Copies of this chain bind each other. A is one copy, B any other.
Amino acid sequence: MTMLEGVTTRPGGRRPGATRTRVDILAAAQRSFAEHGYVLTTIRGVARAAGVDPALVLQFFGSKDGLFDAALRDDPPVRALVTLAGEGDPSDLGPRLAARYLELWEDPHTGPRMLAVVRAATAAPSASAMVTAFMTDEVMLPLARAIGADQAELRAALTGAYLFGVASARYVLGVAPLAALDREAAVTYVAPVVQHHLTGDLTPP
């Protein structure tokens, strides 16, 4: 248990290395979820990659699910999608959200994490619930509320579902006509539907 000595959790009792160690474990977890997926990621494997004892991973994060949840929520770029609501008019939020979301998928730093999240979301019910809670409560619902949308919960769910489907088709499944488009063209096709879900008439006659 020597690895644990430096990271007791009593208030104020942590040594300076504890935060660094936690960050290292989280980074190793994010790499593992991205490379091996949720199902094959293990506490033991993450501990080995971070150069720490498995007991320390459990002490910080409680379980594999706890580790996944922390890795998911430690994602400033995705959380920052909410700020789009304040950067322009609601009437063109669709194009702005579509463009920023696809950018995140194509950025070499954030893309692998987006992929890991989509893979995990469909792999295990516990991961599904965490991804849904994060994307709904922290991103899509605040965004819909920030523009004062009616039926904000439903609009958030439909917008999220559409973006999830488009990203899955373009970046995960590699559906040719979507995967081959450059980003600007993809945004052109996707944005009107995002806009419809955010501000359009959801149930036309």
Instruction: Across the interface, name the chain B residue whose C-beta is closest to A165.
Output: B165
B128 and A157 contacting across the interface, CB-CB below 8 Å: no
With both beta carbons as reference points, the residue of chain B lying nearest to A161 in the complex is identified as B169
- Contacts of A177 on B, CB cut-off 8 Å? 153-154, 156-157
Whether A178 and B158, one on each chain, are in contact in the complex, defined by CB atoms closer than 8 angstroms, is yes
Residues of the B chain whose Cβ atoms lie less than 8 Å from the Cβ of A204: 192
Q: Which residue of the partner chain B has the closest CB to A166?
A: B161
Number of copies: 2
A122-B118, A202-B189 as given contacts; A166 in contact with B165, CB under 8 Å = yes
Interface 0/1 of A116-158, CB less than 8 Å to B: 0011011100001101100010000000000000000110111
Nearest CB on B from A97, distance (A)? 15
Residues of chain B within 8 A of A174, CB atoms compared: 128-129, 132
Q: Enumerate chain A interface residues (CB-CB to B < 8 A).
A: 37, 39-40, 118-119, 121-123, 128-129, 131-132, 136, 153-154, 156-158, 160-166, 168-170, 172-178, 188-189, 192-193, 196-197, 202-204
List 16 additional A-B contacts (Cβ < 8 Å) besides A128-B174, A132-B174, A193-B193. A122-B123, A122-B168, A123-B123, A128-B173, A132-B175, A153-B177, A154-B177, A157-B169, A157-B177, A158-B178, A161-B166, A161-B168, A162-B165, A188-B203, A189-B202, A192-B196
